[in-house]
Chain A
Amino acid sequence: MTTYFTKEHEWLRVEGDIATVGITDYAQAQLGDVVFADVPEAGRTVSKGGEAAVVESVKAASDVYSPASGEVVEANAALADEPALVNTDPQGSGWFFKLKLSDVSELDGLMDEAAYTAFLATL
């Protein structure tokens, strides 16, 4: 199980060819209190770098980009009733969707945790 990060502050945790996607702790802190998360339905195809979800906070609405291409196999239904999970547990129960990866080699360009931490230090 490996976790990857993007410069757009999404994370992606890979188990086999299934990846779980969410936004990072840094992203939720920047957004402020999340009030709504629009996650893609199972069956939808997303492409790397394409818009996959929308997250809305008291300050702003932001697109969430898919860190990799594939088909959505599950959306986090819990976010509909409790969008606060994105704030309280962004890298755990606040996940957005699960993806069946279509091209595992797309993960090569993503950052690991150490590289992402170093990237945050430059912001």
Chain B
Amino acid sequence: MSMNNIGRVTRLSGDQLPELPGGVTFTGNRALMLEEPLLFELGSTDRCGVDLQSVPEAMDRLGDLARTAPIDLPGLSEPETVRHYTRLSRQNYAIDLGIFPLGSCTMKHNPRLNEKMARLPGFADIHPLQPQATVQGALELIDRLAYWLMTLTGMPAVAMSPKAGAHGELCGMLAIRAALDARGDSRKVVLVPESAHGTNPATAAFCGFTVENIPANARGRVDVDALKARLGPDVAAVMITNPNTCGLFEPDLVDICAAVHAAGGFVYCDGANFNANVGRVRPGDLGIDAMHINLHKTFSTPHGGGGPGSGPVVFSEALAPFAPLPFVRKTREGFELVEEMQARESADHNHSFGRMVAFHGQMGMFVRALAYMMSHGADGLRQVAEDAVLNANYMLASLKDIYTAPFAETGPCMHEALFADDFLGPVGLTTLDLAKALIDEGFHPMTVYFPLVVHGAMLVEPTETESKASLDQLIGAMRSVAERMLASPNDFRTSPHLAPRRRLDETAAARKPVLGYKAA
């Protein structure tokens, strides 16, 4: 039996684990662990939670397309509906419940001050089609956030409208494409290092480019010689992630950018990991031409179900004229949302590739991100990067004697620590088994099996918002799980044992997916 420091029992020993005398409960619930039926099993089609007016006879213009069979939607009352989703949410894991060490995702705390600011009526209750004179404050906020994003990145232009990271990549690559078209250049190849994010090649392919891989070197960085050897008149751009997806800083970026520019190409940087650099490194100083910034990572707006995301893109001088519309401009009379391109108005934007979204972007996220920046200040943002890197290195240093740490000998990591499952090989267990065992410990597992450059990758990103106590608890669990896996491997082949569901058959789910709620 373990106790806390004032003698309160904090953990039951094995023989005290709860078990119901006589077997199972009538409901299938285990006290506050609720067994929730599907919405369709819960409701019935003969009732309705709201009073709907009877529909007056109307001319039917659907012809053969009109539905004749009942639609069979389950009818639930308001409390039934509220309870259903609240009960389901209790089986979920969220950043408000515990550390969420999902590598590359930067699952940091979402400060409540951000939420307070986003709920101010002047931001929360406005509509994108309101006259601009009535939303001057909102436009000023967009302009100010844009200013700080440009300042923090050392870049002269920013597109605020992209709605998430991959959308930002698309924005950046469309601008590169527009810049190439403008000079009549039909370059087709985009080089993507192995250590880049998986969305990078997808974005390049979506824009019509041919993607070629550049290998990683033994230190987990871009193989610069291989990259330089491949540069030529057919290479449109290089998409690079920094820090890369092994959690490592790319030390040769200045050199890489210069070589790509000399060969007539552009450099796109995936800025998803900007959390490790903010306040310390400006991509503009490295020679980057375009980079997206995930406000929902670096700048603490909600993420992963609580979103939406927001992915502004900063541009170099060379790409700035091709940035998308709309943008906010400060005039003598106030702030103006420039929605259409008129050459006489703005020489610096007269090659815009067009519009990516119906309005101007994720206003609610802009408010939260600026609130985060202003509450931290310049010194605070610098400390964000420092603490994110410190926390990740604490994880790495505390685990590398048990876990295989592929690049630990090359020096400190950045904001995330990469492990591999080679150490589990002798007992026949894998990263998947370890991730499932962490669920029993009450943690959301780390990112698994990505990046592909190591065997059975485990990518741990603690973020700067975790305390030492919180890190120690995860480290303790990860050490204990690893030690027990090595000592009695058979106990872990079927983990998790304590979750609402045991190990799910991912193979059967992918090979023979059941997509209906009723057995066919």
- In the bound complex, how far is the Cα of B456 from the Cα of A59, in angstroms? 9
- Asked if A84 is at the interface of the complex by the 8 Å CB criterion, the answer is yes
Cβ of A33 and Cβ of B449 under 8 Å apart?
no
CB-CB under 8 A from A36, the residues of chain B are: 510
- In the bound complex, how far is the Cα of B512 from the Cα of A33, in angstroms? 13
Q: Closest CB of chain A to B240's CB: distance in Å?
A: 21
Cβ of A58 and Cβ of B506 under 8 Å apart?
yes
Q: Annotate B415-440 by CB proximity to A: 1 below 8 A, 0 otherwise.
A: 00000000000000000100000000
Which single member of B449, B506, B510, B511 contacts A60 (CB below 8 Å)? Answer: B449
- Asked if B53 is at the interface of the complex by the 8 Å CB criterion, the answer is no
Cβ of A84 and Cβ of B449 under 8 Å apart?
no
Q: Is the interface of B mostly helix, strand, loop or mixed?
A: helix
CB-CB under 8 A from B450, the residues of chain A are: 60
- Asked if B13 is at the interface of the complex by the 8 Å CB criterion, the answer is no
Closest to B455 in A: A30
CB-CB under 8 A from B511, the residues of chain A are: 33, 35, 83-84
Cβ of B510 and Cβ of A35 under 8 Å apart?
yes
CB-CB under 8 A from A84, the residues of chain B are: 511
Cβ of B452 and Cβ of A35 under 8 Å apart?
no
Cβ of A35 and Cβ of B449 under 8 Å apart?
no
Closest to A36 in B: B510
Q: Is the interface of A mostly helix, strand, loop or mixed?
A: loop
CB-CB under 8 A from B432, the residues of chain A are: 59
Cβ of A60 and Cβ of B452 under 8 Å apart?
yes
The number of inter-chain residue pairs (CB within 8 angstroms) is: 18
Cβ of A58 and Cβ of B452 under 8 Å apart?
no
- Asked if B130 is at the interface of the complex by the 8 Å CB criterion, the answer is no
- In the bound complex, how far is the Cα of B508 from the Cα of A83, in angstroms? 11
- In the bound complex, how far is the Cα of B510 from the Cα of A35, in angstroms? 6
CB-CB under 8 A from A60, the residues of chain B are: 449-450, 452
Cβ of B507 and Cβ of A59 under 8 Å apart?
no
Please tell me the number of chain A residues within 8 Å of chain B, measured between CB atoms. 8
Q: Closest CB of chain B to A66's CB: distance in Å?
A: 16
Which A residues between 2 and 59 are near B, CB-CB below 8 angstroms? 33, 35-36, 58-59
Q: Closest CB of chain A to B516's CB: distance in Å?
A: 20
- In the bound complex, how far is the Cα of B511 from the Cα of A84, in angstroms? 9
Candidate in B432, B449, B506, B507 with the most chain A CB atoms within 10 angstroms: B507
CB-CB under 8 A from A83, the residues of chain B are: 511
Cβ of B449 and Cβ of A59 under 8 Å apart?
yes
Q: Closest CB of chain B to A63's CB: distance in Å?
A: 9
Closest to B512 in A: A35
- In the bound complex, how far is the Cα of B499 from the Cα of A37, in angstroms? 32
Cβ of A33 and Cβ of B452 under 8 Å apart?
no
CB-CB under 8 A from B510, the residues of chain A are: 33, 35-36, 58
CB-CB under 8 A from A33, the residues of chain B are: 506-507, 510-511
Q: Closest CB of chain A to B443's CB: distance in Å?
A: 21
Which B residues between 422 and 478 are near A, CB-CB below 8 angstroms? 432, 449-450, 452
CB-CB under 8 A from B449, the residues of chain A are: 59-60
CB-CB under 8 A from A35, the residues of chain B are: 507, 510-511
Q: Closest CB of chain A to B197's CB: distance in Å?
A: 14
- In the bound complex, how far is the Cα of B449 from the Cα of A35, in angstroms? 16
Which B residues between 461 and 520 are near A, CB-CB below 8 angstroms? 506-507, 510-511
Q: Closest CB of chain B to A88's CB: distance in Å?
A: 12
Candidate in A33, A59, A84 with the most chain B CB atoms within 10 angstroms: A59
CB-CB under 8 A from B507, the residues of chain A are: 33, 35, 58
Q: Closest CB of chain A to B210's CB: distance in Å?
A: 11
Candidate in B432, B452, B511 with the most chain A CB atoms within 10 angstroms: B511
Candidate in A36, A58, A60 with the most chain B CB atoms within 10 angstroms: A58
Q: Closest CB of chain A to B199's CB: distance in Å?
A: 13
A-B pairs with beta carbons under 8 Å apart, 17 shown: A33-B506, A33-B507, A33-B510, A33-B511, A35-B507, A35-B510, A35-B511, A36-B510, A58-B506, A58-B507, A58-B510, A59-B432, A59-B449, A60-B449, A60-B450, A60-B452, A83-B511
Interface residues of A (CB under 8 A from B): 33, 35-36, 58-60, 83-84
With A35-B511, A59-B432 given, can you name 14 additional A-B contacts, CB distance below 8 Å?
A: A33-B506, A33-B510, A33-B511, A35-B507, A35-B510, A36-B510, A58-B506, A58-B507, A58-B510, A59-B449, A60-B449, A60-B450, A83-B511, A84-B511
